[in-house]
Amino acid sequence: MRELKIKVCGMRSVANRQALEELPVDLLGFIFYPPSPRSVTTLPAAEAKKLLDTAKARVGVFVNENPFKILKQAQVLRLTHVQLHGEETPETCRLIRQNRLQVIKVFRVDDSFDFSLTEKYAGAADFFLFDTKAEQPGGTGRQFNWQILENYRLAVPFFLSGGITPADAENIRQMVHPAFYGIDLNSGFEEEPGVKNFEKLKSFIDQLKNE
């Protein structure tokens, strides 16, 4: 099986982040969306800076935020990636990407999703992330029908997100798509919002990487 990148999103605890660094996780996600219970915007500035003090790739997750505010946060906290989870335009993606940040553009998917909507973002984003469609931005803890990813035919690599749990390792191992790049893990591995269960993640990653 190809080596999928593993992103763990919604980190909010310094101790938890330090523990997860022992695992073969490639990217850590930090949410900058105040309504989210996992948002780091309510943390004191010094604690937020300590939280993001990691050698792992650091992904800032934003929803319809002013791009210049995003760039300021990225500079202060040394983000490596910016994940855009709202209705951001290709122009916004390009602006952020021009500032030496990798851009992950999120699309919220259901059975009727039109994958042609991704085409105008080709060249504007480094990666796409396909998440389950919901009325409001943010995770739902539910999965969409992964089979509809067969309708995605661009070369832009994508992350799979939305309701992934420890029970999904084998199904993910069986997925075949030339642009399938990585998985995004969050609520299915939590003890509480913002705190991940180390053993669940370790067991899942071991199963996923087991040849």
Q: CA triplet 113, 119, 123: central angle to 5 degrees?
A: 140
Q: Give me the catalytic one of 93, 131, 168, 184.
A: 131
What does the block give as tokens for 98? 């021009």
Cα 1 from Cα 109, distance rounded (Å): 25
Q: Give me the catalytic one of 9, 93, 168, 184.
A: 9
Catalytic residue flag (residue 131): yes
Catalytic residue flag (residue 184): no
Catalytic residues: 9, 131
